[in-house]
Structure 1
Amino acid sequence: MSNTTFRKFLRAEDATSLENYVGFGADTRSLPKAFGSRPSAYMMPASEALSQFGSGYDVESGNAPLNTSLNILHTQRFQLEKDRSFQYLFSLNTDNNFQYREGVDRFFNTAQGIYDNNLYTTTNRFSTNSSVLSAINYGTKRLSLNLNAFYLRGTENTIQDQLGYTNSQATVSNAFIRLNQLQKTDFFTGQLFTNYKLTKNDAHSIKAGVSYSKTQYQLPDRKSFRGSLIDEHTTSVNYSGNSLYRQYMNFDGDFFGSGLLEYNWKFGHDDLTKAHKLSLGYNGSFNKVASSSRFIVSQNLASNNTSFNTNAPDATLANEIANGNFTYREGSNATYAATMREGVNAGYADLALQFNDKLNINVGARVEQSERLTRFRNPGSFSDPFQRVKLNNLDVLPAANLKYSLTDKANLRFSASKTLTKPVIMEAFPLEFVNPDATIESGNPNIINSDNYNFDAKYEFFPTNKEMFAFTAFAKYIENPIERLFLQTAGSGGLQITYNNSKQAVLYGAEIEFLLQLSRLSESLSNFSAGFNTSLMYTRTTIDVVKNSVETAAIGDNNTRRLQGASPWLINADIKHETDFSKKWKSTMTLAYSIYGERIYAVGTNGLDNYYEKPFGKLDFIWNNKISTKWDVKLGIENILNPTYRIDLGDESTIQIFENDLTVKDFKRGVGVSLGLGYTF
């Protein structure tokens, strides 16, 4: 919850309704047929420019209420004849969140060593999430059958203002950009799992499962204007130069399916809880995603500029279109559509050996064949053929784990494995997401998986069933680590945020974790417990400049630096108080703090140093109350200290930098207060 006013869409009162927004993007998929190979030549007639849009640029101000959440849970179990049972669960959840941020937003002109954009940004967001979960379970002596379904709808309304200068024009400090958008996400997943005992004693069993998921992300009408802020309430815009634009984007996870089939054999001991276990199985997944977008920009006709009330431009712009002073022209290019398909087929085997009460060993391997096919066009003509990037992999992934019980309360664990890190959709999908401040976010279809070789040694001690102490030493070698890059275009013009593989990386470190009951210190603290976790880590990445085809800033010797995204240290700590105020009222209060050390946010290129995410400490308070057997009440205060989040350019660039302040982004996240209510019946 913000202590300032919150701006929102005039039509955003029903944030889950899109009837007023979908008209703009409805014909996106027919874009090539409608506009031919030169869509930028098409200009809308006034009637079309006035009628195509169900939402406008107008906004209003209002005070942000308390963040709230509500959940309802119902579950029941039925015991049937012949040792059969049936159980069902239903859960309904909804919440909303208001957020306000403000701070600087900058990027560099690498040709001149000065800021290209130097803007002060204020952002207001209102988000909602609603979800439904249902599950049923049917069981017999041998069979367990589980079916569940989950649906989530999320919306986010954003009003963002940026004030300062762009295109290195430091003398023009009243450049103003207003972004106004609604995002909508729909996610559905259904899963069916079963476990069947082939023999009565469970010595032989099979496990199987299938799942289906579908995701849809929409920007029904993302719109922005950029011009000059004349005074507190007035903005002047120029119709040329993309000063007004509207953008539609649809991202469909059309299909994600997965399957599992596993056979288990317990052998070597009459007591099957102490027997060895062999598992043989197959699992696979198949994924298809597609994107489509449309982009239109203002085009001057009889006039080249106008002024309007910053928060209420719609009436003025409608009048200007009706009078023939400007219209919209097509700004979409051939990159408007792309698809990606992924498939994984894997077989695996795992052997768990229990030699005695003290020593357990697991050894196994997974053989995985995967394929990723991406189809997209580069900027150019709609008639150009689609580019195809096809990546195939065959990976053998062994793993071994050892557990040795030193005593009934202490264990030693050792593990070694090879794993994969696969790029997430945003890192690999060739979608260009254009922001009004000339930054572009895009995936890299040529990015490949990272191979990870992992080694861990752990000592754990359990003084009581509520306490724990653990020390872990770890090491990892990574081939082709995936990292975020900031790429500057030649001279002035923009910043591209994308991803690529470095050559290799090594990291090693140690982690300490404990959970302690404070009654050890004093009986008066018997209701308190403390948790603590910290890790220290050293990382070193080797850069392959030729492979990346970019001039990466080399910090240190032999083109090496720290691994992007890895903190050299981090700390998590909490203090918890648990008490029963009465027979029906149980209370848990938690004060939690977390902080991480400086880490590389993005790799610098074109002679710029890396961009460093500065330490950020977060203090939260959560109070959970169980009242009777049906009601749950939760009060949360998030980010109590409200520190400044900051990203700085490092001071070891190989080009001359003339700016004294190297902070490229900062903001305060604000203090959030939320109230949640749950009912179980």
Structure 2
Amino acid sequence: MKQILLLLALTLSFTALAQKGTISGTISDKSLNNEPLPFANIVIKDTTIGVNTDETGKYSLSIEAGTYTIQFSFVGYETVEQQVTVTAGQTVTVNVSLGAGSYTLKDVEIQATGNREKETALLVEQKKAVEIKQSIGAQEMSRKGVGDVEEGLTKITGITKVGSRGIFVRGLEDRYNNLLINTLAAPTNNPFKKIIPLDLFPTDIVGVIDVYKTFNTNIYGDFAGGTFDIQTSIGNKSVTRISGGVGYTTNNNLEDFLLSDDAKTTEGFFGFNGKDRELPALLGNSPASHTFTPEESKKSFKSGFNAHKTRSPLNSEISFLHAEKFNFKNDAKFSYLFSLNFDNSYSIRSGVDRTLDFPSTGFIYITDFKKKTFSYKTSTTSLIGLNYSTERLKLTSNTLFIKTTDNTIEDQFGNTSPGQGNRLIRTNQLDRSDYLNTQLLGDYALTADKNQNLKAGISFAMTKYQQPDRKSFEGDQSSMEDSQITTNYGTFLRQYLTVDGNYFVSGMAEYSLKFGNKDKQHKLSVGYDGSINDMETSYRFIAGHTSISNPNPGGFTTNLNSIDTQINADLASNNFYFEENTGSTYKVKLREMVNAGYGNVLLKFADKWEVNGGVRLESSNRETKLRYQGSQTAPFHTKKYDNFYVLPSVNIKYLATEKANFRFAASKTYTRPVIMESFPLTYLNPDGTSVQGNPILKNSENYNSDLKFEIFPTSKEIFAITAFGKLLQDPIERAYIRNATSGRVESYLNSDNAKLFGVEAEA
């Protein structure tokens, strides 16, 4: 019976196969001497049946016998239709050559389509675009083994990663960069950085990263180094994947390591520690000079000063991805994507930290430390993406959540001042951030021929950055390797910093019109971009004090990593107490607003010249509310900084040959400071130094120019060389000020100007 069923199944299978035929062939590119065109589209007209060409331009499509109209198309190229008759059991060969068509300008600006993740498609887009822009897609990042966006960007010419300072573009640091997520402005998750650290974006959630090294009127005027536009992934195919891995870094993993007690728990491993570090509830929302009783200290401070000595394990990561796509009638499509990623890493950094002074007798070290830092980091990232599209409408909803922790134990050993050596400063710190960003975007073709389009988007984000119970103390030690320390309670300090991003709202809208007598090759765009950022801080201090009744007022000697035993005994004996010492400047409120309108026109002349020019009118407003030294309940003082900018931009492209272009770009832009650079808050470091924001810091104004030559030997290759120059008026610079009472103060000032010139090559 089984043999009969098998024979019947095979007969049915062969019968089904015999009723089908095959269409196959090669698609070539007219503009590149008929070289193969990868990832072109082949679709049976009025159906959802179709395939793409492979990397050699070949395709094969199996279909029922009959007569069909086949559509051949590619991003930025004409669509060709051809009628084909398919005979059962036979193969029909259809070779087609595609050339640039009337939809080039539209297609160059399409964001986050499936083909844009392919290397070859992005190279074609780069060749045909007027602006100077580079992109890296999911395919290239996967091929190069890239794990996150930051690593991916370093594969682009002119972009480097400089340690903990993040991404540098053409020698300009984080302050001069800007970040968009799906063309919408995005807040930072860390007020000490201009943009979100890009290593928090795993490649699982990224489709394409667009990098603008030149300014265009449709991106924000806060531009000098580069603007990164992260286009998140869409569910363009059905997939469910669970993956994991471990990593080893020399001198970091499987080494002696220090962790705070709350970080060595299961919650700490997964980045959910910090609850035991919260500000004691009895202090409330407003500071007061409250002195803690021994019983209050026992109940309020659930996290101590101990450090746990262990061995650092391997770094690890795990991710889950699920996506599904559905096709409906009338070419309607719906897809969704869910991604969840977790990773952790251990690092050990050793070095020196020195402050120099230059009196008339020669230079001296004000401070001279050897420094060793143990850091355990975690990050959790989740993306939910929903996409719906028809022939004329595209709707996208994205919700992005990022949670990070950084647990550090840092030792500084050396001279805290000239002549005062063998001092050790121990810092036990947790940096924690939560980031939630929800977006809704739409793109609608107002006319059937798609010559008029309207796109719009809005996002709402909330952020929270904390350094809860940042603990520090110092004392005498014979060497950095000594396990004993002699200290006194007057050096013990707990800091509680919270920066609440109450809301960050961003919006954009753009209308575009393609015009021209023949193939609508010109384009006019007008649009709006805007954002509003509302945030406030709370910065509280609790200091240790030696009681008058303490029998050892000069201090005590104990084990450095198990100091809580001595602390708890002295608290119980009333030899030591904690007291809040928060000043009136603990709370600062900030509101930043940007509103901009722009117009842009793209013109093509004589099949050789393309000119893209426009102007952006942008207002940038900053309102800061603060209290000066004095009463903690005094009214806030308000400082306003308002600017209005006229920002012109021009991009010119000359098609020297079918494979070579010359490009020129010039623009005016400006740069806003990092949040903490303009925040009137004094951030105190355990070594006595401090960082103080400058509320009257001005935006810098930038003048940019680029000249580029590029050649595309094949559809997969490029060679380019670019010369660029920048003039920065009122650039923002870090400055150091001597303070007799609190040591070195780091602040930020505007200098007169700065000039930057460079050459970069790409191959």
TM-score (norm 1): 0.71
1:30 equivalent in alignment to 2:285: yes
- Identify which range, 109-118 or 455-464, moves more after superposition: 109-118
Letter in 2 for 1:479: Q
Q: 1:25 to 1:368 in 2, by over 3 A?
A: farther
1:500 equivalent in alignment to 2:761: no
From the two aligned structures, give the one with the greater strand fraction: 1
| Counterparts of 1:227 and 1:22, CA distance in 2 | 23
| Counterparts of 1:418 and 1:28, CA distance in 2 | 50
Query: What's the CA shift for 1:502?
Result: 0.8
Query: What's the CA shift for 1:356?
Result: 3.9
Aligned counterpart, 1:545: none
Aligned counterpart, 1:554: none
Q: 1:25 to 1:466 in 2, by over 3 A?
A: farther
Instruction: Give matches, 1:659-678, under 5 Å.
Output: none
Q: 1:189 to 1:405 in 2, by over 3 A?
A: same
1:83 equivalent in alignment to 2:331: yes
| Counterparts of 1:289 and 1:344, CA distance in 2 | 15
SS at match of 1:430: coil
For each residue in 1:139-177, what CA deviation from the matched residue of structure 2 results, as whole angstroms up to 9, or x when unmatched? 11111001111000000110011111212224xx32111
Aligned counterpart, 1:49: 297
Aligned counterpart, 1:291: 537
| Counterparts of 1:76 and 1:239, CA distance in 2 | 60
Aligned counterpart, 1:368: 618
Query: What's the CA shift for 1:270?
Result: 4.4
Aligned counterpart, 1:438: 688
Query: What's the CA shift for 1:343?
Result: 0.8
Counterpart of 2:404 (choices 154, 158, 178) is 154
| Counterparts of 1:496 and 1:213, CA distance in 2 | 33
Query: What's the CA shift for 1:327?
Result: 0.5
Aligned counterpart, 2:272: 17
Counterpart of 1:126 (choices 365, 373, 376) is 376
Contact 1:130 1:152 survives alignment (8 Å): yes
Runs of 4+, deviation exceeding 6 Å: none
Query: What's the CA shift for 1:269?
Result: 4.2
1:208 equivalent in alignment to 2:470: no
Letter in 1 for 2:446: L
Q: 1:431 to 1:166 in 2, by over 3 A?
A: same
Letter in 1 for 2:576: F
Contact 2:707 2:722 survives alignment (8 Å): yes
Contact 2:617 2:647 survives alignment (8 Å): yes
TM-score (norm 2): 0.64
Query: What's the CA shift for 1:509?
Result: 2.8
1:461 equivalent in alignment to 2:711: yes
Counterpart of 1:471 (choices 721, 725, 736) is 721
Aligned counterpart, 1:625: none
Letter in 2 for 1:292: S
Query: What's the CA shift for 1:426?
Result: 2.3
Aligned counterpart, 1:300: 546
Aligned counterpart, 1:103: 351
1:237 equivalent in alignment to 2:237: no
1:510 equivalent in alignment to 2:756: no
Aligned counterpart, 1:69: 317
Q: 1:375 to 1:77 in 2, by over 3 A?
A: same
1:169 equivalent in alignment to 2:419: yes
Query: What's the CA shift for 1:452?
Result: 0.8
| Counterparts of 2:712 and 2:377, CA distance in 1 | 42
Q: 1:269 to 1:97 in 2, by over 3 A?
A: farther
Q: 1:205 to 1:20 in 2, by over 3 A?
A: closer
Query: What's the CA shift for 1:508?
Result: 2.3
SS at match of 2:585: helix
| Counterparts of 1:46 and 1:162, CA distance in 2 | 30
Contact 1:25 1:249 survives alignment (8 Å): no
| Counterparts of 2:281 and 2:478, CA distance in 1 | 36
Instruction: Give matches, 1:174-573, under 5 Å.
Output: 174-229=422-477, 232-240=482-490, 243-272=491-520, 275-301=521-547, 302-303=549-550, 304=553, 305-490=555-740, 493-514=742-763
Letter in 1 for 2:276: Y
Give the % identical residues.
41
Q: What is the root-mean-square deviation in Å for CA atoms of aligned residues?
A: 1.8
| Counterparts of 2:280 and 2:746, CA distance in 1 | 25
Aligned counterpart, 1:518: none
From the two aligned structures, give the one with the greater helix fraction: 2
SS at match of 2:497: strand
Aligned residue pairs, count: 500
Query: What's the CA shift for 1:512?
Result: 2.1
| Counterparts of 2:472 and 2:757, CA distance in 1 | 46
Contact 1:99 1:124 survives alignment (8 Å): yes
Letter in 1 for 2:454: I
Q: 1:470 to 1:135 in 2, by over 3 A?
A: same
Q: 1:127 to 1:154 in 2, by over 3 A?
A: same
| Counterparts of 2:277 and 2:518, CA distance in 1 | 65
Query: What's the CA shift for 1:122?
Result: 0.8
Point out where structure 2 has 5 or more consecutive residues left out of the alignment. Answer: 1-248
SS at match of 1:30: coil
Contact 2:280 2:301 survives alignment (8 Å): no
SS at match of 2:262: coil
Letter in 2 for 1:503: D
SS at match of 1:21: helix
Aligned counterpart, 1:661: none
Aligned counterpart, 2:222: none
Point out where structure 1 has 5 or more consecutive residues left out of the alignment. Answer: 515-681
Aligned counterpart, 1:94: 342
Aligned counterpart, 1:646: none
Q: 1:378 to 1:413 in 2, by over 3 A?
A: same
Aligned counterpart, 2:185: none
Query: What's the CA shift for 1:383?
Result: 4.1
SS at match of 1:370: strand
